[in-house]
Structure 1
Amino acid sequence: TLITAAAGTTVGWTSPTLPILLAPDSPIVTSPDQSSWIASIMILCSAASPIPAAYLADRIGTKKTLLLASVPYIIGWILVMFAGNVPTIYASRLISGLGYGIAYTTAPMYLGEIASDDVRGAMATLITVMSKFGILSQYCIGPYVSMLGLASFNIAIPILFVVTFSTMPESPYYYIKQGQKQEAEASLKKLRGRSYVRDELESMNNLVSENMKEKGRWKDLFYVGGNRKGLIILMGIYFTQQFCGSTAIISYAQQIFGAAEGGLGAEESCILFGTVQLLTSAMSSQLVDRLGRKPLLLISSCGVGLANVIIGAYFFMKHQNSEYLVSLKFIPIVVIPIFIFSYTIGLATVPFAITSEIFPTNIKSKATCVIQIFVALMTFAVTKLYQVVADNLGNYVAFWGFGALSVLGVIFILLQLPETKGQSFAAIQEKLYSPNKVVYEKDEDEMARVKITL
């Protein structure tokens, strides 16, 4: 998951860097419109890489594909080191976006396939934990070093990923799909160590054999009922994840805290903000397999919705020069961390767990690819439009809009999302693809049984 820490650095980098670029003594003269493109163009470009990433994951395996993701990051930071104008920064962000798309397409697949059923959710949420670590590193280091210094730190992360991840085994599911049974067994033994059980390998073999009876086609995502249902569920969740305003706050954190004038410096506020993100994502990784996916997402969506309304009200009073504002300057410092806690406990982490487990083997890479393209376009829209709305209509309009969309997300999750906590891939697929209601339970002796309601 170090590769997602590298992704986090590319997202968080704009927060300390844009104020430097927009300052009167900027080393690279940058307009506000150019700054919004610097923040958003990386995510837009990330929409171009999920299709080749999905193809490569099927052809050469998820491990090698993840290793390839490090190359665009390294090139991107080298360009930042030598940047002397805005077009060079654009180029660095475009290239980094390719790595971002590959990483977020492939990492959920790899982690979902190597993890056992009881820890799969926690493993998948590590994507977010490491991403938040990357973001926090930018908040802690960025304001106090030059652009060259920050880029030098950032380039070390993908290099370290290549060195460490090279020792990891390929997914056993990939070997099984390729008919390499001995390699699959060796991979699973390395992953499980002493807890290796041959029955798990047989279960993988049976599931892949069943899934691969028919070759997954792109149109099957939309014409097969279970695939279509899974796609709609994930698109709804990821739409809520992006349009609750999370990406805008992360990308423009230092500017938002500066505009809020909450009594704490913008740089210090960002460090507080990033620390809450990291600690909460670590907490979520422990809760996702205990409380379940759906409860965490509902708590998260309600929390960000309420926080957006309060933050919007604060900015509205600031816009109106309200006399009450002096006594309410604590609101940004209190409510924005509450927003981040609420967002990170569910919306930031749980969707990756669901992505890793909801689709059959024969269609998983294609489904993940479509989801990542959708997420990239939504993230670009939020990142680009936030600056436009905030500049022309006011910050309060943007936050109230985020609040309204968060409420819609609560309704969608409540009505559409099934619970998948602790269930095998086979059980989850039965739930989505069977017209009957199938519930997998364990008794006190850990014996599995199936309850079917016709």
Structure 2
Amino acid sequence: MTAKTRSHWKEYGTALCATLITATAGTCYGWPSPTLEYLQSPESHIPITSAEGSWIASIMILCSAFTPIPSAYAADRFGRKTTLLLGALPFIIGWILVIVAKSATLLYVSRMFSGLGYGIVYTVAPMYTGEIATNEVRGALSTLITLMNKVGILAQYCIGPYVSMRTLAAINLILPISFVITFIFLPESPYYYLKFERSERAERSLRNLRNGDIRTELKNIEINVQEDMKNRGTWSDLVTEATNRKAMWISLGVFTIQQLCGSAAVVAYAQTIFKQNSSTIAPHHQSMILGCMQVATCMLSVVLVDRVGRKPLLILSALGVGLMNGTVGTYYYFYKFHANTDAVAALHWLPMAALMVYIVCYAIGLSTVPYVIIGEMFPTNVKLYASCIAHIYTGIFMFAVQKLFQVVMDLYGIYTVFWGFSAFSLLGLVYMIIILPETKGKSFACIQAGLREDVARSTSSKLMTVEY
């Protein structure tokens, strides 16, 4: 085994330990699917209403919007490693509260703590894995964040239906504790040390991550850090710079489509959704199949994104998701109003099949490509600020989708919810066809030049209109 291969294995091992915390975030995300069914059943030791259930499902995501900005500052001040270790504490507290909970109020508090951890993890984990990786494996290591999240969700679908709520929480508690025990021995990012001119610590950190000669790589990292420090941006640059405003407008539009296609609701309410049909497969078994499909397809967009391109993948994804949402909504409409017909009874397999196609379509584009766009359309000096804004923005929209899913379903039927998701997906398709530029194979300078040309054309058009 060559020194280079050994280095890559070290990087994978370090990233795997680091992404245990994203698996924990996945358990929190998928936990409502089996648990809400129990809490709303006659056997529940904490009886809740459907309205209370919607708060339990959604309040975590709302609270996740509060931590990206503080955690970004903490990562720069105290280090990526320290911030991630601190990010495990809210998860630990959250699961302990679930174990001892005797009221819906305490479940709300537990989910709030989980949300704070969720926001920390998804701000700092990509930063850490990106900074410890070499160019050859950076993309693969970044996919571990998504993969481990899906594994955490799948674990809830597979374990939740067969154990009590408290037992499930105790099992989930193992993950953040295991993360702390393993991650505490791993190195800090060398980028962080060099920002504070701690060259010896940076060298020691890099030696723990690599085999062989590290002098060239250490020098390159030092040059990159010095450049970043010279050109430090500010929050106001996102508004005052015309190209940044344009990039933010495009990015937030794509993130809006990502959330309003309904993915957050499908994950959190999987068993509730499948319970609405007459399939011969039990709802929790259908959820397991869906979870397995998520894990199997989460790598697809990474393979395709540099071959097919960002814009075609997003357009294909939005089209597929929109059609599948419409299909599920139409099935549930006929199931509610024409349940006794042979044709409807014969199509009991349709929601499961449509949602499996939905998961594949979502995975190849809308799941991961928006984060690629954030990374490509902003200069390095404001990329972290843009990422924080995107996390807060998506947190608010995810909360709205998860909270309103139950409310709209109770008032107007589940078919109305899926028709709404379908309409937003197809409107998003039109938006991306018209607005979204293709960035595949383009250098950062070329992307920025394209944004400047768009801004110049827009300004020129406005001036001509005023003169006319």
TM-score (norm 2): 0.86
1:368 corresponds to 2:387:
yes
Deviates more, 1:98-107 or 1:225-234: 225-234
- The letter for the 1-side match of 2:421 is F
Q: Do the aligned residues in 1 keep the contact of 2:377 with 2:447 (CA within 8 Å)?
A: no
CA distance in structure 1 between the aligned counterparts of 2:323 and 2:303, rounded to whole angstroms: 25
Q: Secondary structure at the match of 1:131?
A: helix
Instruction: Check 1:435–1:284 CA distance in 2 against 1; reply closer, same or farther (3 A cut).
Output: closer
User: Within the alignment, does 1:352 sit opposite 2:349 as a pair?
Assistant: no
Letter in 1 for 2:263: S
- Given the superposition, is the C-alpha separation of residues 280 and 392 from structure 1 closer, same or farther in structure 2, using an over 3 Å criterion? same
User: 1:137-163 CA deviation, whole Å, 9 max, x = no partner?
Assistant: 000000000011100110111111122
Counterpart contact for 1:124–1:353, Cα < 8 Å: no
Partner residue in 2 for 1:382: 401
Q: How does 1:145-184 map to 2 (within 5 A)?
A: 145-184=163-202
User: Does the 8 Å contact 2:313/2:365 carry over to 1?
Assistant: yes
For the Cα contact (< 8 Å) 1:120–1:353, is it kept in 2?
no
1:44-443 alignment, distance < 5 Å: 44-194=62-212, 198=216, 200-321=217-338, 323=341, 324-356=343-375, 358-419=377-438, 427-428=443-444, 431-432=447-448
Change in CA separation of 1:410 and 1:116 when aligned onto 2, cut-off 3 Å: farther
| Alpha-carbon shift at residue 255 of structure 1 (Å) | 0.6
Q: 2:246, 2:415 → 1: CA distance?
A: 35
What amino acid sits opposite 2:269 in the alignment? Y
Check whether the contact 2:328–2:351 (CA below 8 A) recurs between aligned residues. yes
Give the CA RMSD over aligned residues.
Answer: 2.4
Residue range with higher mean Cα deviation, 149-158 or 289-298: 289-298
Note if contact 2:317-2:361 (Cα within 8 Å) is conserved in structure 1.
Answer: yes
Q: Give per-residue Cα distances to partners, 1:181-209, cap 9 Å, x unaligned.
A: 444444445445358571x5444444433
Partner Cα distance (2:293, 2:54) in 1: 25
Whole-angstrom CA distance in 1 between matches of 2:120 and 2:377: 20
What residue is the counterpart of 2:55 in the other structure?
37
d(CA) in 1 for partners of 2:281, 2:438? 41
Q: Which AA in structure 2 matches 1:37?
A: W
Structure 1: unaligned runs, 5 residues or longer: 438-454
Tell me the number of residue pairs that the alignment of Structure 1 and Structure 2 aligns.
433
- Please say which of residues 244-253 and 124-133 is displaced more in the overlay: 124-133
Change (3 A) 1:301 1:7: same
Per the TM alignment, residue 100 of structure 1 is displaced from its structure 2 partner at its CA by: 0.5
CA distance in 2, matches of 1:399, 1:209: 50
Q: Is the 8 A contact 1:117 1:422 kept in 2?
A: no
**Secondary structure class of the residue paired with 1:193:** coil
CA distance in 1, matches of 2:211, 2:172: 33
- DSSP 3-state at the match of 1:30: coil
For residues 34-70 of structure 1, what are the alpha-carbon distances to aligned partners after superposition, in whole Å with 9 as ceiling and x for unaligned?
Answer: 0000001111111111121111011112222111110
Residue type matched to 1:348 in 2? S
Q: Name the CA distance, whole Å, in 1 between partners of 2:258 and 2:267.
A: 13
Task: Please identify, of 410-419 and 395-404, the stretch whose mean Cα deviation from structure 2 is larger.
Answer: 410-419
Q: Please give the secondary structure, in 1, of the residue aligned with 2:294.
A: helix
Distance in 2 separating the partners of 1:273 and 1:435: 39
Q: Which residue of 2 aligns with 1:441?
A: none
Larger mean Cα displacement after TM superposition, 382-391 or 275-284: 275-284
- Retained in 2: the 8 A contact 1:121–1:350? no
TM-score, length of structure 1 as denominator length: 0.88
Give the 3 Å change call, closer, same or farther, for CA 189–429 of structure 1 in structure 2.
farther
Residues 2/280 of structure 1: CA separation in 2 closer, same or farther (3 Å cut): same
Give secondary structure in 2 for the equivalent of 1:216: coil
The corresponding residue for 1:450 is none
Alpha-carbon distance, 1:366 to partner: 2.3
Distance 1:222 1:339, change over 3 A: same
Aligned-partner residue type, residue 365 of structure 2: G
Q: Which amino acid aligns with 1:402?
A: F
Structure 2 unaligned residues grouped into runs of 5+: 1-18, 454-468
Paired residue secondary structure (2:276): helix
Moved more, 250-259 or 401-410: 401-410
Answer yes or no: is the 8 Å Cα contact 2:278–2:345 preserved in 1: no
Distance apart, 1:340 and its partner CA: 1.1
Measure, in 2, the Cα distance between the counterparts of 1:389 and 1:219: 38
C-alpha separation in 1, matches of 2:192 and 2:81: 10
Deviates more, 1:223-232 or 1:98-107: 223-232
Q: Distance in 1 between matches of 2:35 and 2:230?
A: 51
**Matched residue type, 1:145:** V
Secondary structure at the residue paired with 1:260? coil
Say if 1:295 and 1:170 are closer, same or farther in 2 by CA, change over 3 A: farther
AA matched with 2:273 = I
Work out whether residues 54 and 368 of structure 1, in 8 Å CA contact, stay in contact via their aligned partners in 2.
no
Task: Summarize the Cα distance change of 1:154–1:24 in structure 2 as closer, same or farther, 3 Å threshold.
Answer: same
What's the offset of the Cα at 1:287? 3.7
Match of residue 440 from structure 1: none
